[in-house]
Amino acid sequence: MKRIGAFVVVIIVIFLILVISGAFYTVREWDQVVITQFGKPIGEPKTEAGLYFKIPVIQEVNRFEKRILRWDGDPNEIPTRDKRFIYVDTTARWRIVDARKFLEVLGDYTQAYAKLDDTIDAVVRDYVSANALVEIVRSTDWMPTLKEGEETVVSPFPEATRETVELGREKITRAILAEASKAMPAFGIELVDVRIKRINYIERVRKTVYERMKTERKRKAALFRSEGEGKKAGILGQMEKELKSIVSGAYRTAEEIRGKADAEATRIYGEAYGEDPEFYAFFKTLETYKEAPYNNALIILGTDSDYYRFLKNIPK
């Protein structure tokens, strides 16, 4: 009997511990808590961090984030006002400002994200369809100013073909945020920011755009290549001209030096041979003997020939 009583006491103590432990709950710094009783919210949400009491078993704790949350939509194919089909990838930041209303209307995060998908995607589609592509891509008509030492780059596109920006991407996204935010208070949500994360052409248009870009780049490359060949030909022509001028000047200088040297040699020879004309005649005749083509040839000289004169006077 004592054993049964002890067992009952242990069971009661365990039950009391479980009941007491379920009676207290904590709220963390990033939490906000809504207490539900039999599935219905009661009281105001607990947003201050601390330890709180609830009725065990009967009441339940529902925790929600107090921090800013992230929403990323699926890329949607949307036509712009100028009939250009693009993919628009949008992102947003939101938070729960009324946890009780959020629980009553939406219930959980899955429903919240579904509601954000429907609301933001619809507003983005309306604004993208109502504006030209240049408005979605650019924010202003601002053009970069040149810094000191930079050269002006001439655009290949004429001024008349450039599209002007009236609203711009920044103003459009602010308008999307304002429009989508109107429906959020009914769900206990605040939409903090909406941004267009990425814009791209759809696949069939992208290929055409890429081909047009390639053609334009090839045309500019051919233009640059042609200008380069022209400059190359001009440089080579100038180089050839300068080379000929240098060679001509060098040849003229060499001929002048050679002429002066020959004249000086002739003068020296003249002075040397003028001192003994007989020896000069003898020396030059011997040179002709040496250079004469005697190989395979027969020379007949008369005894009275001047050419034979020095041979005829050789002592026997």
pLDDT score for 264: 86
pLDDT score for 169: 87
| pTM (two decimals) | 0.57
Task: Note down pLDDT in tens along the chain; length 316 residues.
Answer: 566 666 666 676 665 555 555 678 888 888 999 988 888 888 888 888 888 888 887 888 899 999 999 999 888 888 888 888 888 999 999 999 999 999 999 989 999 999 999 999 999 999 999 988 888 888 776 555 555 555 554 454 445 445 677 788 889 999 999 999 999 999 999 999 999 988 887 776 667 767 778 888 888 888 889 889 889 989 998 999 899 889 988 988 999 899 989 888 888 877 777 777 777 777 777 777 666 666 666 666 666 666 666 666 655 5
pLDDT score for 213: 80
* Cα–Cα nearest to 89, from 198, 10, 4: 198
Instruction: Give me the CATH code for the 69-140+165-201 domain, please.
Output: 3.30.479.30
pLDDT score for 162: 57
Q: Spell out the domain ranges in the chain.
A: 2-65, 69-140+165-201, 214-275, 277-312
pLDDT score for 157: 46
| Cα angle for residues 228, 229, 231 (degrees, 5° grid) | 65
pLDDT score for 313: 62
pLDDT score for 200: 84
pLDDT score for 68: 93
